[in-house]
Amino acid sequence: MADEQNALVLYFSWSGNTKRAAQQVQRLSGADIEEIQPVVPYSSDYQAAGKRAEGEKNQAIHPEIRPLTSDLTAYDVIYVGFPTWWYQPPMIIHSLFEQNDFKGKRIIPFVTSASSSVTDSVPVLQQLATAAGAELEQGFTANKPRIIEKYFK
């Protein structure tokens, strides 16, 4: 568990599962919280959203995100939450790292997925964190409230 002083929870959620996990991380950590929002929202239709997301992955498209309202310079620890898609972070997480300054930050990932754990996303996250000058810390799979609670004990 990280020292929660000066912490921020950034999350992307399509179905609401990651949003619920992010809200629990925020409650348990006392961190501030902000949603990562694409400029062009994903369809609420599962098939259409999946087709777009798969196309982004296959073509290495990093969708533009709305500017964050949080000043990242005020934080030492940043929890980054997202659903795992195709055993990796959605491409919008690439956008997050490209469009913001994470230099010197401690990044703690948390993921939601029916079939993947946080370890599936670590190789990509390590590349993103290293390129950004950030330190990737051990994260957790946040599928159930008790698993999230366990991380903070």
How confident is residue 114, by pLDDT bands cut at 50, 70 and 90? confident
Q: Which long-range contacts (CB under 8 A, 24 or more apart) does 42-48 make?
A: 42/14
Nearest of 98, 99, 101, 123 to residue 109 by alpha carbon:
123
Q: Where are the domains of the chain?
A: 7-152
- The reply to whether CATH 3.40.50.360 applies to domain 7-152 is yes
With beta carbons less than 8 A apart as the criterion, state whether 111 and 123 touch. no
Say what the pLDDT of residue 4 is.
55
What is the mean pLDDT of the segment spanning 106-124? 93
Q: Specify the pTM.
A: 0.95
State pLDDT tens for residues 30-56. 999 999 999 999 999 999 999 999 999
State pLDDT tens for residues 68-111. 999 999 999 999 999 999 999 999 999 999 999 999 999 999 99
